[in-house]
Amino acid sequence: MASTSIPVASLGANPEVAKQIKELLLPEYDLVHMCLSLESASTEFTEILSGNLEVAPSSGIGSNVDKPTTERRVPRAIVLGGGVSDEDYVALKEALVKGGLKVEGDGEDVVKFVRVLRDDILALGASRPDPTVISQVIRKKLGQLGL
């Protein structure tokens, strides 16, 4: 994996879709850390975004999985899958703030979020979770954030 790619983390419910998206985002974006539940994301994202790279993805998905701690990368944004509810989004942001991270405003130290909504997928003609369509939505929204 080229170190010039932009590292991102993700919270989603479908590990098979996540694995495909991880490959489809390359080479521009590197999915370094994937969580499959709000509970794991609340803990693991707080740790890695605070610089504790000893925490490997509990899902087993992400390029940080097999890397030594010294080679793991801190994500620059968190991508939320279409199955992540508004309530879980708010709860994740609250957990990150409780962990000492900034989730509002501008600046390099503010956690950036990308939400992939079901309407985004439907608008591009997909009727179910399509990794190709989802990766297009993610790329577009990350680009809108300047990433």
Tell me: the pLDDT tens digits for 130-146? 999 999 999 999 999 99
> What class does CATH assign to 6-144?
alpha beta
| SS3 (DSSP) at 98 | helix
Nearest to 7 by CA among 59, 42, 53, 60: 53
Output the pLDDT for position 29. Answer: 97
Quick: pLDDT tens for 34-92. Answer: 999 999 999 999 999 999 999 999 999 999 999 999 999 999 999 999 889 999 999 99
pTM over 0.85: yes
pLDDT surpasses 90 at 105: no
Tokens, residue 36: 């499959």
Output the pLDDT for position 109. Answer: 84
Per DSSP, the chain holds a count of helices (H) and strands (E) of: 5, 4
Tokens, residue 17: 């879709």
DSSP state of 111: P
| SS3 (DSSP) at 59 | coil
The dihedrals phi and psi of 67, each to the nearest 5 degrees, come to: -90, 150
Q: Give the C-alpha separation, 94 to 31, whole Å.
A: 23
Q: Give the C-alpha separation, 105 to 40, whole Å.
A: 25
Output the pLDDT for position 2. Answer: 45
Summary mean pLDDT of the chain:
93
| Percent of the chain topping pLDDT 90 | 82
| Percent of the chain topping pLDDT 70 | 99
Higher pLDDT among residues 116 and 122, named by residue: 116
Q: Where are the domains of the chain?
A: 6-144
Nearest to 74 by CA among 23, 115, 33: 33
Output the pLDDT for position 123. Answer: 86
Tokens, residue 68: 């030594």
For tokens 């990794």, the residue is 131
